[in-house]
Amino acid sequence: MPRPIAAGVLTIIGGAFVFLGGLFFALLGIIFAVFDIFSRLFFVGLLVGLLAILIGILMLVVPSGHIVWGALAILLAVASIPFAFAGLIIGFILTLLGGILAILWKPPAPPVITVEARPAAPPPT
């Protein structure tokens, strides 16, 4: 079965960068927690990165939902801007490109089999 491989791989790699950016954001939250400013908001970037990786895997495993997966990947790429330092920029770009490629992907048409009819001589009597 054909799959949007480029879209899935780009989304997985971009999700890894978003996760890395979310990790830096979470470490910043830990530093703020030392000064008694604790918020769970700093850990949302980790969740966005993990979800982007999951969406990339779903693009490869369930290609029939490529439009939904692409839209979710674009949404997660945009969500990575405030929550994960935009995935260190490269994560944002790769996840966004993966989502766009997933939406634009078209499964190949099934092969058409044509049979050519040839005139045959009538059977001998």
User: Alpha-carbon distance 123 to 101, whole Å?
Assistant: 58
Classify residue 119 by burial, with Cβ atoms within 10 Å: 0-12, 13-18, 19+: exposed
Residue with tokens 């989304």: 11
Give the pLDDT band of residue 3 (cuts 50, 70, 90). very high
Which tokens go with 3? 């799959």
d(CA 41, CA 118): 73
pLDDT in tens, 10-40: 999 999 999 999 999 899 888 888 887 777 8
Q: Sorting pLDDT into bands at 50, 70 and 90, what band is 1?
A: confident
Question: Are 55 and 117 within 8 A, CB to CB?
Answer: no
How far apart, in Å, do the first and last CA atoms of the chain sit?
Answer: 51
Q: What is the pLDDT of residues 80-124, one digit of tens each?
A: 999 888 888 999 999 999 999 999 999 888 888 887 777 778 888
